[in-house]
Amino acid sequence: MAGRNHNPATGLNLRPDYHPLDGTPLLHLQRRLPPPEIHLIEDRIAAQSREIRTLLLDNQRLAATHVALKQDVLAARQDLRRLSATASSVKAERDAQVREVYERSVKLEVEARCNGGLQAELDRIRADIKELRDEGEELAEELTDVNGDIASTRSELQQLPDIKAEIGIMRREIHRGRYSENACFYFEFA
What is residue 146's predicted lDDT score, i.e. its pLDDT?
84
Please give the model's pTM, rounded to 2 decimal places. 0.33
Task: With a cut of 70, list the residues of the chain below it in pLDDT.
Answer: 1-35, 112, 115-118, 184-190
What is residue 56's predicted lDDT score, i.e. its pLDDT?
96
What is residue 2's predicted lDDT score, i.e. its pLDDT?
55
For 25, phi and psi rounded to 5 degrees?
-70, 130
Measured distance CA(56)–CA(147) in Å, rounded: 42
What is residue 14's predicted lDDT score, i.e. its pLDDT?
47
What is residue 34's predicted lDDT score, i.e. its pLDDT?
61
What is residue 130's predicted lDDT score, i.e. its pLDDT?
92
What is residue 181's predicted lDDT score, i.e. its pLDDT?
75
Measured at the alpha carbon of residue 20, what is the angle toward residues 18 and 22, in degrees to the nearest 5? 90
Q: Which domains does the chain have, with CATH numbers?
A: 26-189 (1.10.287.1700)
| 3-state SS, one letter per residue, for 36-88 | HHHHHHHHHHHHHHHHHHHHHHHHHHHHHHHHHHHHHHHHHHHHHHHHHHHHH
Q: Per-residue pLDDT tens for 46-66?
A: 999 999 999 999 999 999 999
